[in-house]
Amino acid sequence: MKRKQKKLLYRIIVAGILFAILMICEHGSESISGWTENTWLFAAFCLVPYLIIGYDVLRKAVLGILHGQVLDENFLMTVATIGAFALGDFVEAVAVLLFYQIGELFQQLATAKSRKSIADLMDIRPDIANLESEDGTVSEVDPSEVPVGSIVVVRPGEKVPIDGVIESGTSSLNTAALTGESMPRDVQGGDEIFSGCVNLTGTLRIRTTKDFGASTVSKILELVEHSGTKKSKSERFITRFAQVYTPAVCLAALVLAFLPPVISLLMGHEALWGQWISRGLTFLVISCPCALVISIPLGFFGGIGCASRCGILVKGSDYLERLAALTTLVMDKTGTLTRGQFAVREVRAVSGDKKQVLYYAACAEKDSNHPIAICIKNACETDVSAVEANITERGGFGLHGTLADGTKVAVGNARLMQEQGITGFTEMPADEVGAQTVVYVAKDGAYLGAICIEDPLKETTPAALQTLREAGISRMIMLTGDGQKAAQAVSERLGGLEYYAELLPEDKVHRVEELIGDNDAPVGFVGDGINDAPVLALSYVGIAMGAMGSDAAIEAADVVLMDDDPMKIALARKISLKTLRIVRENVIFALGVKGLCLLLGALGLAGMWLAVFADVGVMVLAVLNSMRALKKPKETGE
């Protein structure tokens, strides 16, 4: 609790005790009729807690009037309580201010708490960097002073201050603050690591590849700081609503206070001024728009905070609202649904010796950096880097040549095998090939076998799509630059997912434009941020995944998933739905209770007490309800 809030708390306690005494006194005395000397005394006693609890409200009300700011909540409270005093309802006047201030305190504490949970995320900001100079001495400097290409030492327990590549050392990193993933990640020399991770076990020496401002941690902090600027439709609506609502209720209060007595007088009846003015004042107390104005941004903020903790960065409450409105989700295949990395899925050998097939393929590919070559070399158990070979590359066919021991090898597609006149070669049937890429291997002119390579689905992809479907995304579409066959095979494995294949980057833009159509359908797009920035920007909500270290993705997308787990897409959707539901509950609840109390107040069925509940109680409940948005939704189901 800050000093300001502690002071308010003490004032509430003191005023509360005095208020309780007054209640007992009032109860004990005869009901007050007419202004006797005793009444004046009692009023003076009531003035003490009234001023203790409300002096700042009165001050702000006076300042507000001086600055032409009538009709704010301070003014409403002041008029209502002074009115209550004038009517002889001294205790009620104190009660109104007392409860108003309790509500204020509560609201301040609640917002401070949700701010803190965001601040915990902000905790990723590194305070120092241990810069190693050329002579080997290490000095502590501010991370922003570290030049690109210098060596930084990160000891166990410290945060990685700047993005870089490990020069020496092995350790495991806690990336939870960035990705929400609790499993530590093992790293060793040569690995690229990102700022904001916490080094757990060993000391690392890192050569920085960026300056602090361009590092992941700075990007994320910038993003979180800016998340407040994109206000959601509901927030904008309630702002406009509050601007109309308060004057309207004040006018209604005025009418309620004076019109019925005047009419009554004209009709020749008693005016009952006191009763109607009291009802008008009740109206004023109810009219405060605070519960609405606070609970909506607080709900959204909770949702954004919850998402951040799960490694999902939402750039503003606007996008959380849009995420909840999605019915169609377009997904890129490579890197989003699939891993984006080739892996050997199957090796077929004529002779039965699969290791031999892999070995000769690896030898032929030894100097190639093609993704397929790398994955074959990774799959081969023998290290082939020392093998000497004379290899010719034939673009569109494959590779062939002679190894140092005189063995002739040929590795490539069916056309290469036919061209080289390989004996015993048979092409794999199309239905067995499916989504895979097949590399044929031959040794000394004889067919040896085939290696099937594919870009495998991520483990969680099927479950993620299922959860998204359950969370109300009725149409999901996969876009890919791959061939029809490959796309179809992936689609079949994902339960017949709708797809468009053989798309160039600009075709993806056209596809999404078509889906959006003339009536601006809410179409979301998920991509890995590589080559799809235009689509991310074009769609209703652009979601970039695996964004650790990718500036382009962070800039183009509205929602950024820090790691590349497709389950996070589903989680983001769920958080958005939950947040929107909470916000809607708050609006309906606040408006409903206020409306009801206004009605009861006008009919004279509700007094100042109920009015205070309508104002403070609703606000407190709405704030409490908003806090629920901070909690992570369950993994499965709604």
Partner 1 sequence: MKKIYKIEVDCAACALKMEQAAKKVEGILDATVSFVTQKMHVEFDENAEPEKIMPKVLKACRKVEPDCEIEF
Candidates 59-67, 248-256, 477-485, 554-562; binding stretch for partner 1 (CB under 8 A): 59-67
Residue 294 C-beta: closest distance to partner 1, Å: 4
Q: How many other CB atoms are found less than 10 A from the CB of residue 275?
A: 15
Site for partner 1 in 397-436 (CB under 8 A): none
Query: Rounded distance, CA 350 to CA 359, Å?
Result: 14
171 binds partner 1 (CB under 8 A): no
Of the residues 49, 161, 164, 289, which one makes contact with partner 1 according to CB under 8 A? 289
Query: Rounded distance, CA 93 to CA 109, Å?
Result: 25
Residue 595 C-beta: closest distance to partner 1, Å: 19
294 binds partner 1 (CB under 8 A): yes
Query: Rounded distance, CA 131 to CA 457, Å?
Result: 41
Residue 95 C-beta: closest distance to partner 1, Å: 20
Binding mask 204-243 for partner 1 (x = CB under 8 A): ---------------------xxxxx-x-------x--x-
Nearest to partner 1 of 219, 231 (CB atom): 231
Residue 245 C-beta: closest distance to partner 1, Å: 11
Nearest to 542 by CA among 290, 251, 323, 347: 323
Site for partner 1 in 21-40 (CB under 8 A): none
Nearest to partner 1 of 228, 424 (CB atom): 228
Of the residues 9, 58, 60, 463, which one makes contact with partner 1 according to CB under 8 A? 60
Question: Which segments of 67-197 does DSSP mark as H helices, in order?
Answer: 73-86, 90-122, 176-179
Candidates 90-98, 296-304, 464-472, 500-508; binding stretch for partner 1 (CB under 8 A): 296-304
The residue count for binding partner 1 (CB under 8 A) is 31
Nearest to partner 1 of 56, 470 (CB atom): 56
Nearest to partner 1 of 487, 612 (CB atom): 612
End-to-end CA distance of the chain: 35
Beta bridge partners of 423: 446
CB 316 within 8 Å of CB 228: yes
CB 564 within 8 Å of CB 544: no
Candidates 53-61, 260-268, 344-352, 520-528; binding stretch for partner 1 (CB under 8 A): 53-61
Residue 297 C-beta: closest distance to partner 1, Å: 5
CB 556 within 8 Å of CB 533: yes
108 binds partner 1 (CB under 8 A): yes
Of the residues 298, 410, 453, 582, which one makes contact with partner 1 according to CB under 8 A? 298
Strand (E) or helix (H) holding 41:
helix 37-66
Q: Torsion angle of alpha carbons 531, 536, 538, 541, nearest 10°?
A: 170
318 binds partner 1 (CB under 8 A): no
251 binds partner 1 (CB under 8 A): no
Candidates 81-89, 290-298, 512-520, 597-605; binding stretch for partner 1 (CB under 8 A): 290-298
CB 434 within 8 Å of CB 489: yes
Query: Rounded distance, CA 231 to CA 235, Å?
Result: 6
117 binds partner 1 (CB under 8 A): no
- Residue 61, φ and ψ in degrees, nearest 5: -65, -45
Residue 114 C-beta: closest distance to partner 1, Å: 7
293 binds partner 1 (CB under 8 A): yes
290 binds partner 1 (CB under 8 A): yes
Binding mask 562-601 for partner 1 (x = CB under 8 A): ----------------------------------------
Nearest to partner 1 of 316, 549 (CB atom): 316
Question: Which segments of 434-504 does DSSP mark as H helices, in order?
Answer: 461-470, 484-493
Residue 242 C-beta: closest distance to partner 1, Å: 7
Residue 226 C-beta: closest distance to partner 1, Å: 7
Query: Rounded distance, CA 290 to CA 609, Å?
Result: 17
Residue 281 C-beta: closest distance to partner 1, Å: 20
Nearest to 553 by CA among 562, 566, 544: 544
Burial class of 404 by CB neighbour count within 10 A (0 to 12, 13 to 18, 19+): exposed
CB 286 within 8 Å of CB 594: yes
Of the residues 118, 535, 583, 620, which one makes contact with partner 1 according to CB under 8 A? 118
CB 537 within 8 Å of CB 531: no
Nearest to partner 1 of 301, 359 (CB atom): 301
Active-site amino acid positions: 332
115 binds partner 1 (CB under 8 A): yes
Query: Rounded distance, CA 245 to CA 364, Å?
Result: 77
Of the residues 3, 27, 67, 634, which one makes contact with partner 1 according to CB under 8 A? 67
Between the alpha carbon of residue 290 and those of residues 30, 53, 119, 467, 622, the distances in Å are 37, 19, 25, 37, 10
Nearest to partner 1 of 238, 600 (CB atom): 238
Nearest to 173 by CA among 146, 142, 153, 196: 196
73 binds partner 1 (CB under 8 A): yes
3-state secondary structure 430-452: HHHHCCCEEEEEEECCEEEEEEE
247 binds partner 1 (CB under 8 A): no
- Contact set with partner 1 (CB under 8 A): 56, 59-60, 63-64, 67, 69, 72-73, 104, 107-108, 111, 114-115, 118, 225-229, 231, 239, 242, 289-290, 293-294, 297-298, 301
